[in-house]
Amino acid sequence: MQAKTQPPTAKDSAEPNTVSESDSKSRWFSCAASELGHVRKINEDSFLDAREQSLWVVADGMGGHSRGDRASQCVIEHTHEFKALGTAKESLTDILKRLGSANEACREASGGQVMGSTVAALYLHEPHAYILWAGDSRVYRQRDGECSQITDDHSLVQELYRLGELTADEAENHPSSNVITRAIGVADQIDIQVRQVDLNAGDRFLLCSDGLFKDVKPDEVAANLALPSPRQALDELVTLALRRGGTDNVTGIVVQVAQG
């Protein structure tokens, strides 16, 4: 199948799940899925699986605010026409410009309310991987049997944990765990964090909304992400999140770098 590059629409429980998969002759293989879950009435998550341009994006509309589904779709609408440029710097500048445009569009459409979305994006340009994010959607990397979380949550609880005011256990169960400190659409100027990491043959990345990881323990993320195929890894992670209650929308993308 071709990468899903058109912005998905909000889905209700009567519509099919959103699934995308790409596996043509390329340096990358990717697969994606988005599930409504068992509690929400609409899916406020959106994703972009644009393997041909080496770009993947997960956006999670902020629940409890105005039009979270529209905010996440806005992120995808402004990134799905991205075309990889000659240098990583040029491509990153363009991605950031598109996210800035999404921020402006959300602000203009909000009607004075909060219309926001997290974003986590992965752009591959050998020999590096570039991660861009705002909010608590995450990117993980599996390499040589080791799983690491590349992003840091932009949340109140994470800030308190970093300051040493909360233990890891207290942070995990804190009642304000859903308070986000950065997101698309919440301020006139966006604050996107960018991280560059080396890209190795065989690397596997997971981009996901918080609905995937909040009820799945870190060692379970690692164990499932290490399963033989990217599709199996993604299916097991989504299934586990739903089995644990599916209290939020669940969206994930797994990107596999060829072995070389």
Q: Which comes out higher in pLDDT, residue 112 or 172?
A: 112
User: Residue 118: what pLDDT?
Assistant: 97
Q: Could you tell me if residue 4 is inside a domain?
A: no
Among 6, 10, 3, 81, which residue's Cα sits nearest to residue 45?
Answer: 10
Q: Could you tell me if residue 74 is inside a domain?
A: yes
How is residue 198 written in tokens?
Answer: 């080396």
User: Residue 24: what pLDDT?
Assistant: 41
Per-residue pLDDT tens over the stretch 11-51? 333 333 556 665 444 699 999 999 999 999 999 999 999 99
Range in 57-71, 82-96, 182-196, 197-211 with the lowest mean pLDDT = 57-71
Label residue 2 by pLDDT band (50, 70, 90): very low
Q: How far is CA 4 from CA 7, 16, 217, 257, 260, in A?
A: 8, 15, 29, 18, 25
* Domain span including residue 128: 18-151+182-257
- Using the predicted structure, report yes or no on whether residue 9 has a pLDDT greater than 50: no
Number of domain units in the chain: 1
Q: Could you tell me if residue 5 is inside a domain?
A: no
Q: Could you tell me if residue 10 is inside a domain?
A: no
Section 176-199 average pLDDT: 90
Among 177, 234, 210, which residue's Cα sits nearest to residue 68?
Answer: 210
Range in 96-110, 153-167, 206-220 with the lowest mean pLDDT = 153-167
Q: Could you tell me if residue 212 is inside a domain?
A: yes
Label residue 112 by pLDDT band (50, 70, 90): confident
My answer on whether omega of the bond before 175 falls inside 30° of 0, hence cis, is: no
Q: Could you tell me if residue 126 is inside a domain?
A: yes
Q: Could you tell me if residue 216 is inside a domain?
A: yes
Per-residue pLDDT tens over the stretch 67-107? 899 999 999 999 999 999 999 999 999 999 999 999 999 99
Distance CA 91, CA 124 (A): 10
CATH (domain of 246): 3.60.40.10
The model carries a pTM of 0.88
Section 231-243 average pLDDT: 98
Q: Could you tell me if residue 36 is inside a domain?
A: yes
User: 138 burial class (0-12, 13-18, 19+ CB within 10 angstroms)?
Assistant: buried
- Using the predicted structure, report yes or no on whether residue 259 has a pLDDT greater than 80: yes
Instruction: Give the CA angle between residues 16, 17, 20 to the nearest 5°.
Output: 120
- Using the predicted structure, report yes or no on whether residue 4 has a pLDDT greater than 80: no
Q: Do 4 and 20 form a contact (C-beta atoms < 8 A)?
A: yes
Q: Give the number of C-alpha atoms closer than 13 A to the C-alpha of residue 99, restricted to the C-beta side.
A: 28
